[in-house]
Amino acid sequence: MGDTETALGRCTRRDDHLLLRKEQTHLPDASKVLRRLLNDRVIVRLFRGAYVEAAFYGTLQPWEQYDLQARALGEVSGRVLVGYSAAALWKLWRYEPTPVQHEIHRRNGGGKRTRSTVREVSGALPDEDIVGEHVKATTVPRTLVDLTRLHGFGAGFVAACSALRQKLVTREDLAAYDVADMEGLAHWPLVVEKATGVVESALEAAFLAQSVFFGDFTLIPQVSVRGSNGRNYPIDFRVEGTEEYVETDGRGKYGASASEQEFNLKKEKERADNLPVRPERFGWAEVMSMQAYRRMLDKLGCWHRWDLPRIHW
């Protein structure tokens, strides 16, 4: 163990716990050191030339691992990150929390084959749509356009809500982006028109995306309801033209630590006791499986739909 710790200590490690082969030039035996650490399971290989400390990597949630993988891929591939990988770099919400593949731009329609976890995306990519030096990625507007054309309305809409909330773009920026010669963007105008930075989580954005896309009812996000104690309480959604309300309970809504969750759950109980309305509550699985949407169709007396078109792929 001591030798392993010594070997790890000799390596240049980043604050995000990445170890890059190209940054170990001070070690004449760098390949041997990395191979030993890999065999001893001290580090995990993410991509060729990119590793991460195993102990740290194991503490990450799958979607956090995906974010770290995106940074590593950008560092070692020399290619432009696009789609969900670019979204990870910009810290945009994802309709699919942990995509099955990373995405890079294919130069000149060619290039060698990549591993199954990396998808090469072809198509024109002007220099003005690329940012970054060591790690290159598409700009936020181009990332949103690519998410929409590669993965559907849901992907583009959820990420656009995140970008607007973070003030990374404006609606005018999105409207001004020229998509005239691009395919797969029939729903891009709807993303531009309806995405909003008012929603506070990826799950809220996903449920709002479904309402906008399918169009059976209209959701008004982040409404305020006066409680019996005279206080105003925020609720995720009200269905327009009704007194029906919806709350989504996504990951981390009540905090990351046990003490934070306990405090926030007490506040939530106080709110529930004082609210004059009882919102429908849906978790992640219910929203993503469309159960929440169909439940609202039933509650609102709408025609039940078994044939909902795909909103994400």
Query: Is 308 domain-assigned?
Result: no
For the segment 172-209, what is each residue's pLDDT rounded down to a tens digit? 999 999 999 999 999 999 999 999 999 999 999 999 99
The count of domains in the chain is 3
Structural domain including 30 reads 2-57
User: What pTM did the predictor assign?
Assistant: 0.90
Q: Are 223 and 204 in contact (CB under 8 A)?
A: no
Instruction: Identify whether residues 86 and 153 lie together within a single domain.
Output: yes
Instruction: Identify whether residues 49 and 75 lie together within a single domain.
Output: no
Query: Is 311 domain-assigned?
Result: no
Domain end call among 57, 74, 97:
57
For the segment 22-36, what is each residue's pLDDT rounded down to a tens digit? 999 999 999 999 999
Instruction: Identify whether residues 68 and 165 lie together within a single domain.
Output: yes
Query: Is 283 domain-assigned?
Result: yes
How confident is the model at residue 111, as a pLDDT?
A: 47
Label residue 223 exposed, middle or buried (CB < 10 Å: 0-12, 13-18, 19+).
Answer: middle
Taking the CA atoms of residue 275, residue 277, residue 278 and residue 280 in that order, the dihedral angle to the nearest 10 degrees is: -120
For the segment 249-272, what is each residue's pLDDT rounded down to a tens digit? 855 554 455 555 454 556 677 777
For the segment 260-304, what is each residue's pLDDT rounded down to a tens digit? 545 455 667 777 777 889 999 999 999 999 999 999 999 999 988
Instruction: Identify whether residues 262 and 220 lie together within a single domain.
Output: yes
Query: Is 174 domain-assigned?
Result: yes
Query: Is 102 domain-assigned?
Result: yes
Query: Is 165 domain-assigned?
Result: yes
